[in-house]
Amino acid sequence: MSIKSAVQIVDATVGVAAKHMNTGEEICERGGEVFFTASTFKIPILIELYKQIDAGVLSADSRMEITDRHRAPGSGVVKELSNGLNPTVHDLATLMIIISDNTATDMLYDLVGRECLNKTMQELGLRKTNLPMSCREMLYSMYGVETDDIADAEAQVADRRSKEQVVDGAPGASLDYSDVSSPNDMVKLLELLYGGAILSSSSRDSVLRIMARQQLNTIIPYLLPTGTRIAHKTGGVTGVRCDVGIVYAPSGPYAVAIMARDVIDCNKIDNQLAEISATVYRHFES
């Protein structure tokens, strides 16, 4: 199956970009279009975090206190923990990526600062990337949540998400106001990361180690040969599914971004996107 065919059979608008790090060969199917990032925006946060660690502004070993201010509904476990606990920045970064913890994400989003985050993305030439919303802001907007009680917010988001009830015209569900990027931008970001153009070698290695510990593996890795190393991050909200990462294939590593919006059948989407991932892998290994 060709990559174009694999994209066309998906019941969604899909963009794919990939670049082989050794050969420079590229793949692009709607790669320049804007898509919602969902939780793949946690990769830019992770990179900005370690950029500030390199600059001496932050430390991976410093501790942050859990408070109600950052508790966010959706994925993760930090929202369930007691106020006053003090995980390290590295702990929060790990939870943000490997289990997509939204509260850990919002703590780090606040720590690095949205202005610094977006300034870095623009300086790197990622013109289609804009990350104006925290997890909490996006989910509250999309699902019409107005309470500050995290248990109540969690119940509302879970119920409305299960029913695919998104508020009409909500900024969190708009390509103009929500967190967005393009497959091409995401691949460029990973290429710059892998090539050492953004971070020190130690910070680069820390970022890739965290991404390689990913526990949510139903898209990029799912149909690849057992034992293939992948450093990646998934994302998904109503109508949106993504996975972005680096695959360490036998012929050499390649960056890949698979992003879908207007998803019709959420029960099929992961398998369909996993087939795209497998097609990209076979293309580079042929």
What are 5-26's pLDDT values in tens digits? 999 999 999 999 999 999 999 9
> How high is the pLDDT of residue 261?
97
Given a cut of 70, the residues of the chain with pLDDT beneath it are none
Q: Which residues of 216-241 are buried (b: 16+ CB within 10 A; e: fewer)?
A: beebbbebbeeeeebbbbbbbbbbbb
> How high is the pLDDT of residue 104?
98
One DSSP character per residue, 186-223 reads HHHHHHHHHTTSSS-HHHHHHHHHHHHT----SSTTTT
Say how far apart CA 230 and CA 64 lie, in whole Å: 29
Number of domains in the chain: 1
pLDDT digits (tens, 9 = 90+) for 229-286: 999 999 999 999 999 999 999 999 999 999 999 999 999 999 999 999 999 999 999 9
Q: Which residue, among 82, 24, 1, has the nearest Cα to 253 in the 3D structure? A: 24
| Pairing of the two strands 13-20 and 240-249 | unpaired
> How high is the pLDDT of residue 61?
98
Whole domain around residue 138: which residue ranges? 3-285
> How high is the pLDDT of residue 148?
84
> How high is the pLDDT of residue 69?
87
- Residue length of the chain: 286
Can you give the pTM of this predicted structure? 0.97
DSSP state of 175: T
The CATH number given to whatever domain includes residue 39 is 3.40.710.10
